[in-house]
A and B are shown apart, each in its own frame.
Chain A
């Protein structure tokens, strides 16, 4: 179920400007709050079971003593030809025809975890435990997003609930979606403007323009996954 076009020709995409990223992790926090991403606790995070739909890879550039931190926020790349989709035995990992993104249907997932093995970006997360949300913490949950039970996979959806809400608002006002009207939580939270979201099918949108930048590259493009997230990275350091 790779890319298909049927009627609506939206093609949502994201640009990550690594030269602007300060590594503040605001995107990670915003994403967790927006999408009810479970907090698994210190021990689980240390063990390698922390759940994040977006996480910031902190790396170092250069040789000592000339080192500088480099950040690479990684989320689901919403591949046009996604390795996770064909391997799922139950169609829980599917391509949405309207938004052209890759979605996970939680109540169809039986937890084979094959998709997670096959994702080269390690963007998929497994729920090893039921979420533990004591009163009154449950009031922070976003009613637009399912709370996942244990045994299912989950991952970034480009905040599909926001895309749908934006489209409905526009349709109620009898107009088309404006560029920049829909923003996933991570983009809305980014203080340095390192994340830009929009419709790639519109050549004049900001995201389309930025994706043409000479600094652009895609993560593991050579695997033929056709990711819809574009990274920008110049030669300089520390945002230079």
Chain B
């Protein structure tokens, strides 16, 4: 303890001398029982506003998503804005958007765990939950966009009377398998660290909730052996899920890259999509953290400006990486000199939908580069909320540029076309946003959104380590 206090003193003399160490969650510990109580209260407090939102979003899901989808199934795809030659529209755009968001949720949790970034502790679960529900919203689209959704199971490999397997050379089948893999592995990765918290909730509830937590906690008692195995499992999953995330989002990019469509057929699409997914996903984490912080009781204790600060730095780095890949994609497309590709790139920047392209660049590059270098801005949660929301607008427009705008201007100008999303499509897209928010809202009252045992572990067991000029808390010795 004495050594720690001495290190504390040192911290004050470094560049962050104006900052009170108590501002950091790790240096502002509270008793274990107090933390448990806070998390339980967070989970069980429901205000009138909460119910109004829940009912509103539930109605949104019922009407905007399932109502509009049902209408589209019963009348046909003519209600969309699709027309020759643009056969994929906002459904696939939103699909890629949700899959991108969901990929980064687990990724950011896993990568920070692997690199032992201690600031991750209070928000890993919020990020992982975003993955699960992002996938739930995104995985609907491969069904929604089908012309005949009632025979979607033709894509599923199962022994059948037709003696037919799906075509394993089709990227759509790869997609199906990849997304299923990711959904399963990310759900397990969400569930593993949840077990001790479920046990904590089990011991503090009665009635139906108690029974549910009892089943889900798998009889967790907190013995040394249990902790050992749990940590081992989490460690394995954290390492394993990173390559899974990379491969799955590469496969999503292959939907486009393996085709011969001019503007899609690009070798850089794999990493380009991954970096885009991470940029939009990490931004979405910040957006969600802001909402959680301002709506959930006691959340402002767990989520602090330091977390927005750290994630803001990450976003700046990813925005720069995204710009690098974007530049590469365009530069080599232009340098390659294929007439169709050059035409498309020119039309992106000067065609009738050029505003989409410029808005994308402003949201993804100009705004983060102008704001996120500033520590004050990074530490202002509401500003971060707006910036990250804008980044996701930009990322949505990026996918919009890649899909309908590119399809509209292929090799033969005689077949060029313009696509405008129609009300039914827009309604379904808004419906999945309602679905995501609705599921998240309900889940925030069902499971502890803060991994309270991880926070406790960090607060109790950290030491200080020097990384460059800064000194950061570290619990490496514990593992």
A residues lining the B interface (CB < 8 Å): 44, 47-49, 57, 59, 83, 86-91, 108-114, 116-118, 120-122, 125-130, 150-153, 220, 223
A128 & B76 in contact (Cβ 8 Å cutoff): yes
Answer whether residue B407 sits at the interface, using C-beta atoms and an 8 A cutoff: yes
Answer whether residue B83 sits at the interface, using C-beta atoms and an 8 A cutoff: yes
Q: A49-B83, A130-B76 are in contact. Are A117 and B88 (CB under 8 A)?
A: yes
B148 & A91 in contact (Cβ 8 Å cutoff): no
Q: What is the CB-to-nearest-CB distance from B151 to chain A, in angstroms, rounded to a whole number?
A: 5
Contact with A along B243-261 (1 / 0, CB 8 A): 0000000000001001111
B76 & A150 in contact (Cβ 8 Å cutoff): yes
A151 & B260 in contact (Cβ 8 Å cutoff): no
Contact with A along B382-393 (1 / 0, CB 8 A): 000000000000
Q: What is the CB-to-nearest-CB distance from A217 to chain B, in angstroms, rounded to a whole number?
A: 14
A151 & B77 in contact (Cβ 8 Å cutoff): yes
Complex contacts, A113 vs chain B, CB 8 Å: 82, 87-88, 145, 147
Q: A49-B78, A89-B170, A91-B167 are in contact. Are A57 and B147 (CB under 8 A)?
A: no
Complex contacts, A109 vs chain B, CB 8 Å: 147-148
Complex contacts, A87 vs chain B, CB 8 Å: 169-172, 258-259
Q: A49-B84, A88-B170 are in contact. List 7 more A-B contacts (CB 8 A).
A: A47-B83, A89-B166, A110-B152, A112-B147, A114-B170, A114-B172, A122-B415
Complex contacts, A150 vs chain B, CB 8 Å: 76-77, 147
Answer whether residue B45 sits at the interface, using C-beta atoms and an 8 A cutoff: no
Q: In the bound complex, what is the Cα–Cα distance between A109 and B84 (angstroms)?
A: 18
Q: Can you name the residue of chain B whose Cβ is closest to the Cβ of A151? A: B147
Q: Can you name the residue of chain A whose Cβ is closest to the Cβ of B176? A: A89
Q: In the bound complex, what is the Cα–Cα distance between A129 and B79 (angstroms)?
A: 10
Complex contacts, B377 vs chain A, CB 8 Å: none
Q: In the bound complex, what is the Cα–Cα distance between A223 and B109 (angstroms)?
A: 43
Q: Can you name the residue of chain B whose Cβ is closest to the Cβ of A115? A: B87
A48 & B411 in contact (Cβ 8 Å cutoff): no
Complex contacts, B83 vs chain A, CB 8 Å: 47-49
Answer whether residue B164 sits at the interface, using C-beta atoms and an 8 A cutoff: yes
Q: What is the CB-to-nearest-CB distance from A152 to chain B, in angstroms, rounded to a whole number?
A: 6
Q: In the bound complex, what is the Cα–Cα distance between A122 and B408 (angstroms)?
A: 11
Complex contacts, A126 vs chain B, CB 8 Å: 77, 82, 84, 87, 147
25 contacts between A and B (CB under 8 A): A48-B84, A49-B83, A57-B414, A86-B169, A87-B169, A87-B259, A89-B155, A89-B166, A89-B170, A89-B173, A90-B155, A90-B166, A110-B151, A111-B146, A112-B172, A114-B170, A118-B260, A120-B411, A121-B412, A122-B415, A126-B77, A130-B76, A152-B147, A152-B148, A153-B147
A129 & B146 in contact (Cβ 8 Å cutoff): no
Answer whether residue B67 sits at the interface, using C-beta atoms and an 8 A cutoff: no
Q: A111-B146, A127-B147 are in contact. Are A122 and B412 (CB under 8 A)?
A: yes
Answer whether residue B410 sits at the interface, using C-beta atoms and an 8 A cutoff: yes
Q: What is the CB-to-nearest-CB distance from B30 to chain A, in angstroms, rounded to a whole number?
A: 53
B147 & A111 in contact (Cβ 8 Å cutoff): yes
B residues lining the A interface (CB < 8 Å): 76-78, 82-85, 87-88, 145-149, 151-152, 154-155, 164, 166-167, 169-173, 176, 255, 258-261, 407, 410-412, 414-415, 417
Complex contacts, B171 vs chain A, CB 8 Å: 87, 114
Complex contacts, B410 vs chain A, CB 8 Å: 120, 122
Complex contacts, A151 vs chain B, CB 8 Å: 76-77, 146-148
Q: In the bound complex, what is the Cα–Cα distance between A130 and B78 (angstroms)?
A: 10
Complex contacts, B87 vs chain A, CB 8 Å: 113-114, 116-117, 126
Q: What is the CB-to-nearest-CB distance from A52 to chain B, in angstroms, rounded to a whole number?
A: 10
Checking A114, A122, A128 against B77 with a beta-carbon cut-off of 8 angstroms, the contacting residue is A128
Checking A49, A111, A118 against B259 with a beta-carbon cut-off of 8 angstroms, the contacting residue is A118
Complex contacts, A59 vs chain B, CB 8 Å: 414
Checking B152, B154, B258 against A108 with a beta-carbon cut-off of 8 angstroms, the contacting residue is B154
Complex contacts, A110 vs chain B, CB 8 Å: 146-149, 151-152, 154-155
Q: Can you name the residue of chain B whose Cβ is closest to the Cβ of A153? A: B147
Q: Which of A83, A108, A120, A153 has the most CB of B within 10 A?
A: A120
Q: What is the CB-to-nearest-CB distance from A136 to chain B, in angstroms, rounded to a whole number?
A: 25
Complex contacts, B78 vs chain A, CB 8 Å: 44, 49, 128-129
Q: In the bound complex, what is the Cα–Cα distance between A127 and B155 (angstroms)?
A: 20
B76 & A86 in contact (Cβ 8 Å cutoff): no
Q: A49-B83, A90-B155, A91-B164 are in contact. Are A111 and B169 (CB under 8 A)?
A: no
B85 & A122 in contact (Cβ 8 Å cutoff): yes
B77 & A111 in contact (Cβ 8 Å cutoff): yes
The 9 lowest CB-CB distance pairs between A and B, nearest first, are: A111-B147, A151-B147, A48-B83, A113-B87, A151-B148, A128-B78, A89-B172, A89-B170, A90-B154
B170 & A86 in contact (Cβ 8 Å cutoff): yes
Q: What is the CB-to-nearest-CB distance from B69 to chain A, in angstroms, rounded to a whole number?
A: 14
Checking A49, A57, A117, A220 against B261 with a beta-carbon cut-off of 8 angstroms, the contacting residue is A117
Q: Can you name the residue of chain A whose Cβ is closest to the Cβ of B89? A: A113
Q: In the bound complex, what is the Cα–Cα distance between A159 and B379 (angstroms)?
A: 68
Q: In the bound complex, what is the Cα–Cα distance between A122 and B413 (angstroms)?
A: 11
Complex contacts, B155 vs chain A, CB 8 Å: 89-90, 110
Complex contacts, A152 vs chain B, CB 8 Å: 147-148
Q: In the bound complex, what is the Cα–Cα distance between A125 and B82 (angstroms)?
A: 12
Q: In the bound complex, what is the Cα–Cα distance between A16 and B443 (angstroms)?
A: 63
Q: In the bound complex, what is the Cα–Cα distance between A128 and B147 (angstroms)?
A: 8
Complex contacts, A121 vs chain B, CB 8 Å: 412
Complex contacts, B170 vs chain A, CB 8 Å: 86-89, 114
Complex contacts, B258 vs chain A, CB 8 Å: 87
Q: What is the CB-to-nearest-CB distance from B262 to chain A, in angstroms, rounded to a whole number?
A: 8
Q: Which of B76, B167, B171, B415 has the most CB of A within 10 A?
A: B167
Q: What is the CB-to-nearest-CB distance from B406 to chain A, in angstroms, rounded to a whole number?
A: 10
Q: In the bound complex, what is the Cα–Cα distance between A83 and B262 (angstroms)?
A: 13
Q: What is the CB-to-nearest-CB distance from B256 to chain A, in angstroms, rounded to a whole number?
A: 9
